[in-house]
Amino acid sequence: MNFPGNLHHLLDLSGQTALVSGGASGIGAASARLLALAGARIVLADVDAEGMSDTAARIIAGGGWCHTVPTDVRDMEACEAAARFCLESSGTPSILVNSAGLIVRQDSLELSEEAWDLALDVCLKGAWLLSRAVLPHMITAGKGSIVHIGSGWSLKGGPRAVSYCAAKGGLLNMTRAMAIDHGPQGIRVNCLCPGDTDTPLLWSEQQQLGQPLAEFRAEASHRPLGRMGTADDIARAVLFLCSPMASWISGTHLLVDGGGLA
C-alpha cells in the first residue's frame, strides 16, 4: 500500500501553532504535550498560571516550543488578547483545542443560578469566545482545525449534572454548526467526547458527591475495557483530529470512553 509521504508525515504538525485552553492540567495539558511532540508550537491559555508553567516546563524540557497566556475563557477581551498573543509570539494559530472546563454535580433543584452560569460560561461560552477570537486568523490562512472537548454526557444525560450535560450537549451541536459555517473556509471543527478520565476534574466530582473513593473509582472503571481513561488516551485522539490523518473529518464527534456507551 502506498501512502502519500510516510506515516510520520500523516501525524506531523511541524510549522503549526496550537492554542490550547485548559492547558494547566488534565486533558488540556496532555494534549499540549502530545501536539508539541508532533512538532506544533504551543500556546497555553488558562487561569491557572502555576499549572500552565508546569506544563510549559515539561514541553520545553522535551525540546518543544511553548508559551503561556493567562486567560479567563468567559471574557471576550481576554480571549481576543490570547489570540493576539498567540499570533505575535508563535504564529498564526492553525489548531485550537478548547479544553477548559469544570463540572458541578447538582440537579436542577440543588443548582444555583450562579453555578449554572459558571458551568455554561466556562464549558460552552468559553469555547465559542476563544473560537470567535481565533477564527479570523484561520480564515485568513485558509485552514484550521478546532477540537472542542465534550463528554460522553454530550450524547446522553447523567445524574446530578444538569448544567454540565446542558453545556456539553450544546458544545456538540455548536460543533456541527461551526463546521457548516466554516468548512468552506478550509476549517474543520470536531468534538471529542471522553468518558471518565483520570484527571483533577474527575476527582472533583468524587469530592462533590462525597462518594467513597473506592466506590467512585469502581464505577468510573465499569466499562467493557475495564478501566477509566487517562489524559494521554484522550490526547492521542486530539492529535488524530488535528493531524492530516483527519483531513476529511469535520462536523462530527469522536467518542473515546473504553466502550462505556456501547
Q: What is the CATH number of the domain that holds 87?
A: 3.40.50.720
Please tell me the predicted confidence (pLDDT) of residue 104: 97
19 pLDDT above the threshold of 60 = yes
- Residue 8's pLDDT band, with cuts at 50, 70 and 90, is confident
- Residue 209's pLDDT band, with cuts at 50, 70 and 90, is very high
Residue 262 lies in a domain: no
Please tell me the predicted confidence (pLDDT) of residue 7: 77
Number of domains the chain is built from: 1
- Residue 226's pLDDT band, with cuts at 50, 70 and 90, is very high
Residue 4 lies in a domain: no
Residue 204 lies in a domain: no
- Residue 5's pLDDT band, with cuts at 50, 70 and 90, is low
pTM of the model: 0.96
Average pLDDT, stretch 33-51?
98
Residue 43 lies in a domain: yes
Average pLDDT, stretch 160-183?
98
Residue 50 lies in a domain: yes
Average pLDDT along the chain:
96
Please tell me the predicted confidence (pLDDT) of residue 9: 86
Q: Is 164 labeled as catalytic in the residue annotation?
A: yes
Looking at 164, 175, 237, 255, which residue is catalytic?
Answer: 164
Which range marks the domain in which residue 158 is found?
Answer: 14-101+112-194+230-251
186 pLDDT above the threshold of 80 = yes
User: Can you list the pairs that 197-202 forms with residues at least 24 positions away whose Cβ atoms lie under 8 Å?
Assistant: 197/26, 197/27, 197/228, 197/229, 197/230, 197/231, 197/233, 197/234, 198/228, 198/229, 198/230, 198/231, 199/25, 199/26, 199/27, 199/231, 200/25, 200/26, 201/26, 201/101, 201/102, 201/103, 202/228
Residue 39 lies in a domain: yes
Residue 150 lies in a domain: yes
Average pLDDT, stretch 229-240?
98
Residue 209 lies in a domain: no
